[in-house]
Amino acid sequence: MELGLNGRTVLVTGASGGMGREIATAFGAEGAAVVIGYRSRPEDAAHTAGLVEAAGGRALTAPYGLGEPDTARSLVDAALHWTGRVDVLVNNAFRAFGFRPPGDRFEEVGDDWQGKLRDNIEGAVELTRLVAPLMRERGWGRIVHLSSSLVTEGVLETDAGRIGAEYYAAAKAALHGFSRSTAFSLGRDGDILSNVVVPGLTRTFRNEERMANSFGVAERYAARAPLGRLLDAAEVARVVLFLASAANTAITGQSITASGGA
């Protein structure tokens, strides 16, 4: 299937991490110019260098942090300076909460829950606001937001979960409403589609150790899936790739679950 991504410019946030890395690599393999947004940390240099190579060498790295509006503008400006356009936005970056043991109470969480709640929704909204005029001008664009199955499944007390996951789920649920509404307003001005991909618990190169210390969450989640296993990040990336492609002409304003049926 021809995806029509060759020569398109794609912004992927959180692209030095597990899910984002696979997403950016998938776009690069289709001939897209990939702008890799990443939070500046010492270990990111090696990851982003490898990612540029994996994306066929046609990739640009730029610092980006949720809750840092200046970096959102800089990320878009970097893309415009490089290729003069932004065709696709993938909002993948997120601020995570750590695992918690069973029995902890969400109202006792003090791990900057207000800041993380705001950043996990406001960061995606800010970037969407910045790229929307560019997509309207060209009459074409694709926006894909990465969410979480916590929105629909909830945080199960028997499965432990993450510290503050209730607040993370609230932010992601808001993202669903935002994407649904912007699909209507953007769709009036061209072939501009907005969707949400909802991964379940997914294997990435960065979270293997965390899942091993997650009080059996990964095993119980896999047991609930018809496939009997967790998906890996590359499998979720292929869902994102299609929704963000020219081959997708019919799906917009939707939340697509990619969890292996769990």
Residue 71 placed within a domain: yes
Q: Coil, strand, or helix at residue 227? A: coil
pLDDT for the residue 216: 62
Percent of the chain with pLDDT over 70: 76
3 within domain boundaries:
no
User: For residue 72, is it within any domain?
Assistant: yes
**pLDDT for position 233:** 83
Would 4 be classed as within a structural domain? no
**Higher per-residue confidence, 73 vs 223:** 73
Q: Is 168 one of the catalytic residues?
A: yes
pLDDT tens digits along 130-160 = 999 999 999 999 999 999 888 887 765 444 4
Q: Is residue 92 part of a domain?
A: yes
Assign residue 141 the CATH number of its domain: 3.40.50.720
In terms of DSSP H, where are the helices of the chain? 18-29, 44-54, 69-83, 113-138, 150-153, 165-187, 208-212, 217-224, 233-243
- For 183-208, how does the pLDDT look when each residue is reduced to its tens digit (9 = 90+)? 999 999 999 999 999 997 766 666 65
> Which residue would you say has higher pLDDT here, 221 or 83?
83
Residue 2 lies in a domain: no
pLDDT for 114? 87
**116 catalytic per annotation:** no
Q: What is the mean pLDDT of residues 241-254?
A: 98
> 172 an active-site residue?
yes
CA-CA-CA-CA dihedral for 104, 110, 111, 117, to nearest 10:
100
Q: What is the DSSP letter of 17?
A: S
Predicted local confidence at residue 42, as pLDDT: 44
Select which of 16, 147, 148, 255 is catalytic: 148
Mean pLDDT over the full length of the chain:
84
**What pLDDT, on a 0 to 100 scale, did the predictor assign at position 35?**
94
Domain boundaries, position 49 = 9-258
Tally of CB atoms within 10 A around 111: 13
38, 64, 167, 168: the active-site residue: 168
What is the predicted pLDDT for the residue at 47? Answer: 56
What number of other Cβ atoms are within 10 A of residue 109's Cβ?
18
Q: Which long-range contacts link 208-217 to residues 24+ away (Cβ below 8 Å)?
A: 210/99, 213/99, 214/99, 214/160, 215/99, 215/101, 215/102, 215/160, 216/160, 217/99, 217/159, 217/160, 217/161
Grade residue 106 by pLDDT with cuts at 50, 70 and 90.
confident
Cα(62)–Cα(40) distance, integer angstroms = 9
Single-letter code of the amino acid located at 13: T
Flag whether 164 is in a domain: yes
Structural domains in the chain (count): 1
The mean pLDDT of 105-115, rounded to a whole number, is 76
Residue among 166, 178, 203 nearest 255 (CA): 178
- The two beta strands, 231-232 and 59-63, are unpaired
pLDDT one-digit tens code per residue, 25-82: 999 999 999 999 987 654 555 555 566 666 565 889 898 988 887 999 999 999 999 9
More confident call, 230 vs 182: 182
Q: Is 148 a member of any domain?
A: yes
Q: Is 258 helix (H, G, I), strand (E, B) or coil?
A: strand
| Closest by Cα among 71, 67, 74, 62 to 35 | 62
